[in-house]
Amino acid sequence: MVSRVIPVDPFDLVIFGGTGDLARRKILPGLFRRFCAGQMPNGSRVIGAARGEMDSAAYREFVAEAIAEFGGERACEDGTLDGFLERMEFVTIDARGENGWSDLVELMRDDVVRAFYFSVGPSLFGDLAERLTKHGLTDADSRIVVEKPFGRDLDTAKALNRDLAKHFDERQIYRIDHYLGKETVQNLMAVRFGNMLFEPLWNSQYVDHIQITVAETVGVGGRGEYYDKSGAMRDMVQNHLMQLLCLIAMEPPSKFDPDAVRDEKLKVIRALDPMVPHHIVRGQYEPGEDEPGYREAVGDPRSRTESYIAMKVGISNWRWAGTPFYLRTGKRLKARSSEIVVVFKELNHSIFGEAGEHRNELSIRLQPNEGITLGVTIKEPGPGGMRLMNVPLDMSFAEALGADGADQTDAYERLIMDVIRGNQTLFMRGDEVEAAWAWTDPIIQGWEARGDVPKTYDAGSEGPVDAVQLLARDTRVWRKVAP
Ligand code: BG6
């Protein structure tokens, strides 16, 4: 199977924070891979912008190193790297001052798509937006891309939205949640709305409960300072897990169009039940054999920030009332594994008696080993009576789709190309982000008011014991965290 590459229009993409970590790890290598795939048309340019002094030649070296370190997995033909580097420019610029803006004005062209990637802290969003318009760098077709975290609560998110709205229309603002750019996450929509099979059963009448797991083996690493102010709730739940929940739970949009999809996601967030404290378990990882524990890693022996969270979430609407959604995510867990499992109800009546009591489970594996498995009940082979067993109807994308199934385009590559194309479907709208914070804020405020202390869990485990009990109370069990 050959992937289709649809070239985009020529563009100038300015990356503020062009020498930062995200640019180095994701944005620049991602653009290079799109270039290799033939998606970046002649005349397109990438302009790194940052405060440090550097010229375009030095930036090209920086980009080449970033690609060598993070972009080599898909080898390009000889000479391609030079072709890509020729498209790189650099300007030294001060987001809060006037330095460098006239250089950027001189560089930019007005006959190509102009996109500005704010790969900087949110405290600079407003300044950048203001200076871009002040210097006449944007028109009605220009786009800006902003990274998470988009605020740290409802008030700060509203303030950011207001600052951006002073200079840009909502249709020009691309708020990234890189989970939406993952191949299998988009497959959730394809599976739900591209098959007759599932949608009639996709409701509380047939679904017992749904589990959403995003487990990581890494700890907080060098990001302790940021992470300790955020925790799993702000870092993962308010955005990535919320988006997964929305895609699983939303009503079918009338068409695959940015606002139709986002309207439906917003309705899910607004229908979430307020959280009750005993439906949440927070955890912090202990030291491992050769890795520091959470508190050591963030340098605060009394930190109360969670590196793990499990929660039972209810959605009060016609489709889902009565079906719990169990969400969990954590660092330093047993395996890197993200999956969504839809557990269907037991049969109303089994003609096979107890032997027939098997449930269907649909598991959508997001990473690694992307694929879909449906647990189906069949007869145990052989003579000697009617015994039943549950077997997986297993579809690994890598096996079913060959090279294309395994060779997943990185989320950032896809999302950046969507920005250039002007397609906002996979980006969060301002009201969606605010609604997510409106639901999250009281939970965090509750912990702060009560002085809630997370439970500890062993590094390399499946999380705190209390998380097991969260489901056991409902006579349910978590799926194993396995690669
Ligand atoms: C980021 C979080 O948004 O997502 C990180 O800030 C987390 O803490 C990462 O590790 C997980 O992304 P992925 O694509 O590796 O699942």
Buried b (16+ CB within 10 A) or exposed e, 431-459: ebbbbbbbbbbebbeebeeeeeebeebbb
Instruction: List, for residues 5-20, the tens digit of each pLDDT value.
Output: 788 999 999 999 999 9
Catalytic residue numbers, as ranges: 240
Strand partners, 311: 280, 327
8 Å CB contact between 41 and 7: yes
Q: 216 in ligand 1 pocket by Cβ < 6 Å? A: yes
Nearest-angstrom CA–CA distance, 262 and 250: 10
Tell me the best of 70, 225, 235, 333 to mutate to test the pocket of ligand 1, counting ligand atoms within 8 Å of each CB and taking the most: 235
C-alpha 35/C-alpha 81 separation (Å) is 9
For helices 430-450 and 258-270, the axis angle rounded to 10 degrees is 20
Pairing state between β 45-50 and 371-379? unpaired
Q: How far is the CA of 2 from the centre of ligand 1 (A)?
A: 29
Residues 154 and 438: beta-carbon distance below 8 Å: yes
pTM for this one? 0.94
Question: How much distance in Å is there from the Cα of 22 to the middle of ligand 1?
Answer: 12
Banded pLDDT at 37 (limits 50, 70, 90): confident
Calculate how far, in angstroms, residue 363's C-alpha sits from the geometric centre of ligand 1: 21
Please write the tens of the pLDDT for every residue from 304-326: 999 999 999 999 999 999 999 99
Pocket test for ligand 1, best of 147, 234, 240, 294 (most atoms within 8 A of CB): 240
Q: Which amino acid is at 133?
A: T
Least confident of 168-182, 188-202, 215-229, 402-416: 402-416
| Residue 102 banded pLDDT, cuts 50, 70, 90 | very high
Q: From the alpha carbon of 411, which atom of ligand 1 is closest? A: 14
The predicted-structure confidence for 47-75, as pLDDT tens digits, reads as follows 999 999 999 999 999 999 999 999 765 55
Q: Which helix (H) or strand (E) holds 132?
A: helix 125-134
